[in-house]
Every structure is written in C-alpha cells, then in structure tokens.
Amino acid sequence: MDADPYAGFPPGFFDRSDDTPDARFYDSPRLVTHIDDAAITAVGELYAELGIDGSAPAPTRVLDLMSSWVSHFRTPPAELVVLGMNAEELRANPAATETLVHDLNADPAVPLPDADVDAAVCCVSIDYLTRPVEVLAEVGRVLRPGGVLAVTFSNRCFPTKAVRGWLATDDEQHGAVISELVRRTGAFTEPTVQLRTAPGVGDPLYAVVATRTV
C-alpha cells in the first residue's frame, strides 16, 4: 500500500456532511432491509456463484463486513462472522455464528487473526467508509490466499453518512472507485465489476469481485 493511499482523489472525497461519531448514528437498531427483494435475491445468487455460501462443497468461514440483522445468503455458510455497529442488529442475524461490534471509521483494523476467513463480503455499505483502503487492506490480511472479496452496492444510502465523493458520482463511477480502492491495497487480483440485476427494474445491484493474491 502506498504511503498516501488516497493520492489523486479530489480533496474532501472521503469527508461526510455529518462527521459526528458513527456510534451515535447507529445507536438505535434499524431492523429493515436497504434494497428491494430482487436486489436481495441477486446478492444471494452472487454468493452462491462464488461458492462462498452453505452450498459450497467444503465448509466456508465468511466475514460479513459492516453487517446488520440479515446477510442475504441464500444458504448461510458454515461459519459467518458479522461485523457491524449495532449489537442488537448483529444478535438478530440468524445466519451469524460470531458477532463483532466494531467501528471501522474509528479503527480500520479488523479484529481477526491473519488468514482467518475464506471469503469476505460487504453489502451496500462501502460508501460509508472514510478510510476504505486501510479497511480493504485489513480484509486482505484476514483472508486466506485465494479467498474471495465481494463488494455489492446499489443507489440507496444515508446521504449524511456517505462520503462526499460517493454522492458526487454515479453507479458506473462507483464501480470504478471501488475497484481502484481494492487495487491500492496491493492485496488482490484485478477487480471485476458486474451489474447483477435487470437494468431499469427496481434497485440496481452491482458487484465488485476480487481474489486475495497468493
């Protein structure tokens, strides 16, 4: 990772209009879904295609980054570590086998050992990270070599908590931004960007996928 992992991004790109502590914003549980049913189905189909859910031939240990009360796996993996901001939401997640309450904007270190998980996912949340390169580098650290990273995103967000650069760019640019953030960790193969839902129908669901280098 470069000395300045954000060189070349416009000044203020990763600032937010509401810079109050995230722990305050996420203090109350929000037991709702943030994308529509078709997009949720697309997330589950992606995880199944990548072989990181419970349909995989071998038991899989997955990290769900910035998680909530639902993780959208069609079939939950054998082990699912959910990391998020609200303890009540995480406890309500029926697929979770381990919960971690942790603020990645306050501390981008992922509290897991090196090479601890087979895959990592982040569903419609990466736009809230103020230090995304450091967080993604940590994901690379906790992934086993060859492990999959799947970042999904749509066009919904809490605008006061999303970074300014996300709000100033469109969906196509979002995929390019996430891909560049993944590249800057130096930990992954070249990312691919996919549109996972039918264009113009309901919430769009995009995925950026990369693999931990060996």
Mean pLDDT of the chain: 94
C-alpha 155/C-alpha 187 separation (Å) is: 27
Asked whether residue 5 is assigned to any structural domain, the reply reads no
Q: How confident is the model at residue 3 (pLDDT cuts 50, 70, 90)?
A: confident
Predicted local distance difference test score (pLDDT) of residue 31: 57
- Entry pTM: 0.94
State how many domains the chain has: 1
Asked if residue 113 belongs to a domain, the reply is yes
10 located within any domain: no
In a domain, 119, yes or no: yes
- Give the pLDDT confidence of 5-27 residue by residue, as tens digits: 999 999 999 999 998 888 888 77
Give the integer Cα–Cα distance in Å for 129 and 94.
25
- Asked, for residue 65, whether it belongs to a domain, the answer is yes
- The CATH number linked to 178 is 3.40.50.150
Mean pLDDT of 51-58: 93
Residue 143 CB coordination number (10 Å): 26
Distance, CA of 201 to CA of 75 (rounded, Å): 25
Owning domain of residue 119: 22-211
pLDDT of residue 38: 94
Q: Please write the tens of the pLDDT for every residue from 142-201.
A: 999 999 999 999 988 889 999 999 999 999 999 999 999 999 999 999 999 999 998 878
